[in-house]
Amino acid sequence: MEKKTLTITEAARIIGVSPQTMYNISHQESFYPLVLIGRKRLVLTHLLDKWLEEQAGQKEA
């Protein structure tokens, strides 16, 4: 079964940024793949892919 969520560290590794950068990104209001469970910050994998595509599209425009 494929994981549906990632920790901030796992998400950082996947997109190629430092965990601190990913943590900062996760605090932006525009970062919608984030789910808070208590104090734990988790990233939804299917929405992370969509968010990355949108970010890439903004850079090309």
Chain segment 8-53, per-residue pLDDT in tens: 999 999 999 999 999 999 999 999 999 999 999 999 999 999 999 9
Residue predicted with more confidence, 23 or 58? 23
Whose tokens are 């997109």? That residue is 15
Which pLDDT does position 42 carry in this prediction? 97
pLDDT score of 61 more than 80: no
User: Can you give the pTM of this predicted structure?
Assistant: 0.85
- Other Cβ atoms less than 10 A from the Cβ of 15: the count is 15
Burial-class residue 19 by CB neighbours within 10 Å (0-12, 13-18, 19+).
middle
| Confidence band, pLDDT 50/70/90 cuts, at residue 60 | low
Neighbours of 56 (CB within 10 A): 9
Please give the CATH topology (third level) of the domain spanning 5-60: Molybdopterin biosynthesis moea protein, domain 2 (3.90.105)
